[in-house]
Every structure is written in structure tokens, then in C-alpha cells.
Structure 1
Amino acid sequence: MPLLARTVNTPLVIDVRRGAIADLGSLLADRRISAGGEVAVVVGPGQGERIAELIRPGLGNADLFTVTGGSVDAAQELGEKLHRRSYDAVVGIGGGKTIDTAKYAASRYAIPMVSVATSLANDGIASPVAALDHDGGKGSYGVHIPIAVVVDLDFVENGPDRQTQAGIGDALSNLSAVADWELAHRVRAEPIDGLAVTLARTGAEALVNHPGKITDDGFLTTLAEALILGGISMSVCGSSRPASGGCHLISHALDRLNPGLGSHGEQVGLGALFCTFLRGDLERFGQMASCLQRHGLSTTPAELGLTDAEFVAAVHHAPRTRPDRYTILEHLDLAPDAIGERLANYVDALREHLG
């Protein structure tokens, strides 16, 4: 019999709304993740007490753990604590560092993990990857995709705008990452996964065309769904390909050459816009530039705090950060002088489009 379908790992639950954390106990029981609330709740510093009060009525049997730093050491330490008791699930509540720490620790001991996001800074809320610091810098580690993904818009709304802006840049960058994957497929016959492409691009398309502001529930819901779809797309194809192209290579280069400059989302947003210009897709370039400017993200190196020379150096160095990934940067293989010329043309195109 021919294979007519495939099985895809996705979360059992995706819940994006206000008040989601307070209803966490009911959600876990209704979906048979934990009927009795025997879970480990992992939170970051600063908000643990508030979260504990919200979840206590529905998760009276939960143990609360506080983690800091988002490092491999913190994740391993958490894993050792989790190993001392039998838990139905690990519930990571917080931002990217807290969730990635919980994902890594839960995967290490084969415990289902529930991702509860209080910010929308990146697609790690639903991805099969944990980005953690280690002695040599920062690494990405494969983990199991969360069994449930919850986003509480009350917490997102009350968080820093810069976190939400970073999430916008990260989600929009999927448009560039998918275009790079399609380029590698055409030029090098690299296998491509149409379902992963569809998921990553659909969420980003909805975001780039959304007229709302970061204070609107409708826009925040669309952003959350775009980040979740980006994370699931990576699980579908088994790699970060649909969410990481030349945009991310530029960001990795900036981290090495100009550390501490901007957030991951800000950097990949700028990188995606520049890569889109390099591909000559001016219609998409205009859409992305308008969206980034509308939400207060950088569209030029200067707005990110870089000189033109620093940005050129980062673009030239970018392919070395991941030699196995073919993108528009490897395809054009531009020398620094040529990158500088393209950058000048890019800035002119921005002025013409944005005014």
C-alpha cells in the first residue's frame, strides 16, 4: 500500500488569550496531561510569586522551581531536581530563557513539557530547539517539541515593548529564510519540505499584512500564532531551515563581531530585509520595510547602532557562522566592496519606499 500521509508532531493544545495562566490547571486536566496537578512549574526570577498565586488554585500539587540565566548549567541543575520526583509534566512559564531551560531539562529526562509564554520575543515558545549559553558562547540544542503551548496576553501586554518588537523581527524573518531554502532547492537540489514552508510562510504573511499595533489583542494573537507556526515548521522538517537563513547568519556574525548590540529579533529582522533586497524581491522588500518601520524596528544599520563598515564586515563574515547553510549570501559571494555598494543601494531604496 502506498504511503498516503505522514504523522507530524504538534502540540496537543495551543491556547492564546488573556487569563490563560490562571486556567492552566483546568487545561492540563481536560487534555489529560496532568489530572492531579503533579507538575513541576519552572519560572524565571521576578515574577515567580505572582505566577504561583495565579496557578495555586488549579495546581495545588505542583512544585515551583526558579531558574536564572538560560544556560546549559542551569538546565542541567534543573534536570537533576526534576529527577527526584515523578512528574506528569514540566511547565515552563516566562520568557525565552526560562522556556528553553525547561525544554532542555524536560527532554533530558523524557518528561512532557508545557510552554507558557509571558512574552513574544522569539519562536522558541513552540520550537524543538533550546538556545542556551555555555562556556564557549551560545548553542542550539535539539529538544522535544512542547506538548502544549499557552500564551497569556495579559503578561505580554504588560511586558517591555522591545520584547514584542523582537518577536516581530523573528517572525518576519521566516519570509527570508523560506526564500533562501527555495533558492538552495533550485540551485543545489537541496530537499525542501512543502508543509514546513507553508507553516512558516503563512504565519509571517499574516503578520506582515496585519494593520494593528503591538497594543492590540488581534495583532498580538497574530504574532503569537506566527511564532508558534514557525516553531512547529522546524519540528515538521527536523531542522531550523524554514526559520533560519541568511538573516540568522548575519545575526550570528553580529553577535560575534559586535556583541550586545541588539536583540536576536531586531538583528534578524534587519538581516532579513537586507537579504530580501539582495534577492531583488522589491515587492516583498517594501512590505517588510513598512512593517518593521511601523512597529519601531531598525531598517538600517545606523538605527541598530552600527556603522556601514561594521555591517558590511558582519555580512561578509556571516557565511562562516554556518558553512553548511546555503543562502543568498553564499549564492552571491560578494566581496566587502561589493557588499558596501549593495548597502548604499539598499539605503537609497529604503528612502524611496519609506520617505
Structure 2
Amino acid sequence: MPLLARSVQTPLHIDVRRGAVADLGTILADGRISSGGDVAVVVGPGQGEKIAELIRPTLDSADVFTTSGGTLDAALELSAKLRTRTYDAVVGVGGGKTIDAAKYAANRWGMPMVSVATSLAHDGIASPVASLINDGIKGSYGVHIPYAVIVDLDFVENGPERVNRAGIGDVISNISALADWDLGREVRGEPVDGLAASLSRVGAEAMLTMPGDMHDDAFVTVLAETLISSGLAMAVCGSSRPCSGGCHEIIHATDTLFPGTGSHGELAGLGALFCTFLRGDERRFAQMSDCLARHQLPRTPADVGLEPQQFVEVVQFAPRTRPDRYTILEHLALSRDEISRKLAEYVDAVADR
């Protein structure tokens, strides 16, 4: 008998709205994740006290742990603390560093993990990946997809706008990542998962033309849902391929060579726009450039504080960050001088828009 369907891991519960953190106990109970509130709540150092105060009325049995740094050592330290007693779930509340540490720590002991995002910087809020720094280098660690993904729009609204805007760059970089995936299929016969590609593409296309900005609840809700969709695309595929191509190789190279330069989402948008230019896709280049400009996101190396020769170094180093991945950067295999020429042409093209 032919296989008629396949099983796909997804969160049991997805909730994007205002007041979600304060209502966390009810959400966990309704989602059949924890009826009694016996959970470990992981917060970052910035908003930890405020979050603990908000959840206490509905989660009086919870233990609150603070983590910081987004490092593998911090995640391992947190995992040791989680062994003090049995919990129904681990609930990571905060930005990407806090959520990734909670993901890794929960996965280490096979505990269900709930992701409660208070910012929209990138698609890690729902992905089966924890990005953690180890010995100064950021690595990606496979983990179980969160059992629930919750986004509190009150916290997003009150957070740094630059941090939240960066998520737009991460979403639209999917378009470049998918073009790289198609290139891998054409050149190397790499299989492309149609469902994963669809989940990745739909949100990116919506974000390209969606009216509004980070002050508009409808826009922010769509951004949150597209970031979640990207995480699901990675879970369906079993890798980050639907959302990570040459654009993310540029991110990882920048993090390695010039740490502290821009945020993940900012570099994703910049890397995607540059890779799209290298492909010669003028229509996509125009769409992406206009979207980044509309949301005040970086489009040139100078926008993130990189000198031209530094960005050339980044692009030349980028393929080494994902040696198993075939993208436009590997395909063209440009020399240092060729990258310099292309970069000059790229900066001129951006200035003309």
C-alpha cells in the first residue's frame, strides 16, 4: 500500500497575542502541557523580575531560573539546575539567547520545552535548533521543536524596535535561501522538500509586500507567524536548509571574523540582498531592497559598520562556515578581486533604488 501521508512534528499550541505572559498558567493547562503549573521558567537577566511577577498568580508552583549570555556553558549550567526536581515542562521566556539556552537544557534531559517570545529578532522562537556560542564560535545544535510557541505582543511593543525589526530581515532571507536550495537541486541533484519550501516561502512573500510597520498589531502578528512558520519549515525538513543559504553563511562568517557586528536578522537581510544581486535576479533584488529600506534595515556593509574590504573577507570566508551546503557563493567561487568588483557594483545598485 502506498504511503498516503507523513507525520510532521509541530508545536501543540501556538498563541500570538497581548497578555500571553500573564496568562501563561492558563495557556499551559489548556494546552495539556501542565495542569498544575509544575514548570521551570527560564528568564533572562533583563526582564526576569517583571516576568516572574506576572506569572506568579497563575504559576505559583513554578521555579524561576535566570540564564544569560547565550553560550553553551550557560545552557549546560541551566541543565544542571533543572535536575533539582521533576518538571512538567521547561518554559523559556525572553529573547533568542534565553529561549535557545532553555531549548538546549530541556532537550538534554528530554523535557518538553515551551517557547515564550518577548521579541521577534529571528526565527529561532519556533525552530528545532539552538544557536549557542562555544569557545567564541556560534554553533547550531539540533533540539526538539518547542511543544508550544507563544508570542506576547505587549512585550514586543515595549522592546527595542531595532531588535524586533531585525526579524523582518530574517524572514525575507528565506527567499534567497530557497533560491540556493533550488540551485543545489539543479547542480548537485540535492532533493528539495516541497512542504518545507512552501512553509518557508509563504511568510517571506507576505512580508515583502505587507503594509504597516512594528507599530501595527496586524503587521507584528504576521511577522510573528511567519517566524514561527520558518521554524516549522526547518522541523519538516530536518535541517535549516529552507531558511539558511549563502545569506546565513555570511552571518556566520561575520560572527566569526567581526563579532558584535549587527544582529542576526540585520545580517540575514543584508546577506540575502547581496546573494540575490550575485544571482542577477533584478526583480527579487528590487523587491527585497525596497522592503529592507522601508523598514530601515541595513542594505550595505557600511550600514552595519563594515568596511568594504572587511565584507570582502566575510564573503570569501563564508563557504567555510557550512562546508556541506551549496549556495550561490560556492557556485560562483569568486576570487577576492572578483568579490571586490561585485561589491562595488552592488553598492551602486543599492544607491540607485
TM class, shorter-length: over 0.9
Residue 26 (structure 2) aligns with: 26
* Local SS of the residue matching 1:21: coil
Of residues 110-119 and 333-342 in structure 1, the stretch that sits farther from structure 2 once superposed is 333-342
Letter paired with 1:297: L
Whole-angstrom CA distance in 2 between matches of 1:322 and 1:270: 18
Q: Is structure 2 residue 23 aligned with structure 1 residue 42?
A: no
CA shift, 1:136, in A, is 4.4
Q: State the match for 2:257 in structure 1.
A: 257
* Cα distance in 1, alignment partners of residues 97 and 218 from structure 2: 26
1:105 matched to 2:102? The reply is no
Q: What amino acid maps onto 1:97 in structure 2?
A: K
Give the Cα separation in 1 of the matches to 2:18 and 2:206. 21
Segments of 4+ moved more than 6 angstroms: none
- Corresponding letter in the other structure for 2:234: M
In the other structure, the counterpart of 1:59 is 59
Q: CA deviation at 1:46?
A: 2.4
Sequence identity (%): 69
Report the Cα distance in structure 2 between the residues aligned to 1:22 and 1:84, rounded to whole angstroms: 26
Q: How does 1:153-192 map to 2 (within 5 A)?
A: 153-192=153-192
TM-score of the superposition, structure 2-length normalised?
A: 0.98
**Which residue identity lines up with residue 32 of structure 2 in the other structure?**
R
8 A contact 2:118–2:155 mirrored in 1: yes
* Separation (CA, whole Å) in 2 of partners of 1:61 and 1:254: 43
Q: Are residue 9 (structure 1) and residue 19 (structure 2) matched?
A: no
Structure 2: gaps (5+ residues):
none
Please give the secondary structure, in 2, of the residue aligned with 1:65.
strand
Unaligned 5+ segments in structure 1 are: none
Residues 316-352 of structure 1, C-alpha deviation per residue, up to 9 Å, x if partnerless? 1211221111000111111122222222222222222
* Count of matched residue pairs: 353
Determine the C-alpha separation between the residues in 2 that align with 1:30 and 1:252. 39
Asked if 1:218 is matched to 2:218, the reply is: yes
What letter is aligned with 1:281? D
Question: How many angstroms apart in 1 are the aligned matches of 2:77 and 2:349?
Answer: 50
1:275 match: 275
2:84 equivalent in structure 1: 84
Tell me the alpha carbon deviations over residues 233-276 of structure 1, each in whole angstroms, 9 at most, x when there is no partner. Answer: 11101101011100011111212222222111111110100001
- State the distance in 1 between where 2:337 and 2:72 align: 40
Tell me the distance in 2 between the aligned counterparts of 1:10 and 1:191: 22
Amino acid at match of 1:3: L
CA distance in 2, matches of 1:103, 1:321: 23
Take 2:49 and 2:197, find their aligned partners in 1: how far apart are those partners? 40
2:285 aligned residue: 285
Q: In structure 1, the residue corresponding to 2:277 is in which secondary structure?
A: helix
- The one-letter code sitting in structure 2 at the alignment partner of 1:340 is S
Q: Residues 295-310 of structure 1 correspond to what in structure 2 (within 5 A)?
A: 295-310=295-310
Instruction: Quote the Cα distance in structure 2 between the aligned partners of 1:190 and 1:210.
Output: 32
CA distance in 2, matches of 1:322, 1:30: 41
Secondary structure in 2 matching 1:22: coil
RMSD over equivalenced CA pairs, Å? 1.1
Distance 1:138 1:241 in 2: 18
Structure 2 distance, partners of 1:349, 1:134, is 38
* Structure 2: distance between partners of 1:139 and 1:323: 14
1:150 positional shift = 0.2
For residue 319 of structure 1, what is the aligned residue in structure 2? 319
SS of residue matched to 1:261: coil
Amino acid at match of 2:280: G
* 1:316-355 correspondence to structure 2 within 5 Å: 316-352=316-352, 354=353
C-alpha deviations, 1:153-203, integer Å up to 9, x for none?
A: 100111111211221111111111111001101111001101110001111
